[in-house]
Amino acid sequence: MHELAITESVVQAVTERLPGSAITCVHLEIGPMSGVVADSVRFCFGLVTEGTSLQGARLEISQPAARCRCRDCAAEFEPDGMIPLCDCGSADVEILAGNELRIRSVEVAEVA
Amino acid sequence: MCATCGCDAEAGVRVFGPGELAYGDPAPAHPAHGHASHEHTHDHPHYDPPTDQPGTTAADGHPHPPGRHPADQPHPAAADGHPHPPGSHPANRAGAGGSARERTVLLQEKVLAKNDSLAAGNRAWLAERGILAVNLMSSPGAGKTTLLERTVRDVGTELGLSVIEGDQETTLDAARIEAAGCAVAQINTGAGCHLDADMVARGLRALDPPAGSVLVIENVGNLVCPALFDLGEAARVVISSVTEGADKPIKYPQMFRDADLVLLSKIDLLPYLDFDTERHAADLKRVSPRAAVLAVSATTGEGLPAWYDWLRQRSRAA
């Protein structure tokens, strides 16, 4: 259950970057090959943000498509699942996209 | 709370250096409190900015992670009369009518940036000293400690081998390694399901391995979580034991994908098992086409010379 760990890291990174700011929304990017389950992060988010400047914030997760390049035939393709396999039969592929695990941006409440 | 594992591990993580193992005390007193009665090092670096006292010691004398104290936030019912879990209400803070404005701040920060930077620090420290660090991972019971005991006995002195042991609780594994004859530090992760770069940094300080030596970091037995956390190692070795069944690589691709070497262990038991060696090899090729594979038995010694050669070769390159 490392998603709890991941969510903790998100909260810590945001509170360190924006100390004292009331955060109303967090945008995360979680790639399908990152090994992190977006729904589990959603589940943990409310629990982990409690008592922090992120309490009550929305959580928006974008999941960009994965992209691989075959090292044997150089074809680029979108893998089907966690174990990429090129149409040429090779499993020796480079993951170009899909490993993302990033805090893209946050929304901060501005006091009028 | 530990920022990396998020599972109260910061309060629970304990590091035992050489000579600090609690023999005959497999479950150190009050493990959940993080401070057993015996002596151990108290330099506790935190992920938080180094305030050293994170201010989380509650009135009951036990450290509590922020936001986890039952009295902290009693979950008041919302204005509509229904209790909402935090984060479930779309406009809790900003106000539904938009009375408060929102400003977007781009962060573009990797979630594991902190662990990755600590791991880079470990890697640089190890490289300066020409120490080969191996992150040894597998499911529980695959034979990590048994393989290490045998490795220590056979080539421990030659390689200058030392070990950092990672387990949730107890110093049992460290005691086994020390009895086999090498320097060892034990990390107990408490509730944590994996080692992280900060724990390993503490382990390195406790162990202080000599220049030019080989350090094996035996991770917490787990085929999922440790895969995500860079410790600063030069190589990842994953054990797949024949008693677990042949389908582990394809069931846990993330763990096997980044392996530099896969050890198929307990091969002395093959005659008694219905283990499909070909399927295991084919699946492994699919998940991790670049990993080297060696079949070994720590009981009979079969295949071990190749494992030792691999260590020698990587050590020379460190």
Output the average pLDDT for chain B.
79
Residue B201, in any domain of the structure: yes
Which residues 5-44 of A have a C-beta within 8 angstroms of B?
5-10, 12-14, 16-18, 22-25, 28, 35-36, 44
Which among B2, B10, B17, B7 has a CA at the least distance from the CA of B171?
A: B17
CA-CA distance, B306 to B237, in Å (whole number)?
A: 14
Whole-angstrom distance, CA of residue B80 vs CA of residue B96 = 13
pLDDT given at position B297:
98
Instruction: Please report whether residue B233 resides in a domain.
Output: yes
pLDDT tens-digit series, residues B198-228: 999 999 999 999 999 999 999 999 999 999 9
CA distance B56 to B64: 5
Q: What b-and-e string marks burial along B133-143, b requiring 16 or more CB atoms within 10 Å of the CB?
A: bbbbbbbeebb
Q: What is the DSSP letter of A98?
A: S
pTM for the structure as a whole:
0.78
Which residue bears the tokens 């030596």? B213
Helices (H) and strands (E) in chain B, counts: 9, 9
Is B93 part of a structural domain of the chain? Answer: no
For residue B130, being part of any structural domain is answered with yes
Whether residue B293 is contained in a domain is answered as: yes
**So what's the pLDDT on residue B101?**
85
State both tokens at B160: 């200058």
CATH of the domain at B277: 3.40.50.300
**Short-list B239, B246, B244, B249, CA closest to B219:** B239
Residue B165 lies in a domain: yes
**Looking at the complex, does the CB of residue B87 fall below 8 Å from at least one CB of chain A?**
yes
What's the CA gap between B133 and B147, in Å, rounded?
16
ipTM of model = 0.86
Q: Which two tokens stand for residue B151?
A: 């490795």
Domain extent at residue B213: 114-317
Q: Which fold has domain A2-65+97-108?
A: hypothetical protein PF0899 fold (3.30.2320)
Q: Do B105 and A109 touch (CB under 8 A)?
A: no
Rounded CA separation A102/A61 (Å): 10
Whether B193 is in a domain gets the answer yes
Contact A92 B2 (CB under 8 A): no
Residue A82: pLDDT band (50, 70, 90) is: confident
Task: Note whether B58 contacts A: Cβ–Cβ < 8 A.
Answer: no
Tens of pLDDT, residues B18-49: 888 764 444 443 333 333 333 333 344 333 33
Lowest mean pLDDT among A41-55, B63-77, B197-211: B63-77
Residue B151 lies in a domain: yes
CB pairs under 8 A between A and B: 166
Question: What pLDDT, in 10s, does the model give residues B258-299?
Answer: 999 999 999 999 999 999 999 999 999 999 999 999 999 999
The answer to whether A102 and A26 have CB atoms below 8 angstroms apart is no
Query: What is the C-alpha separation between B8 and B190, in angstroms, rounded?
Result: 8
Q: How many independent structural domains does chain B possess?
A: 1
Share of chain B above pLDDT 70, in %: 72
- Sign, Cα dihedral of A42, A46, A49, A54: positive
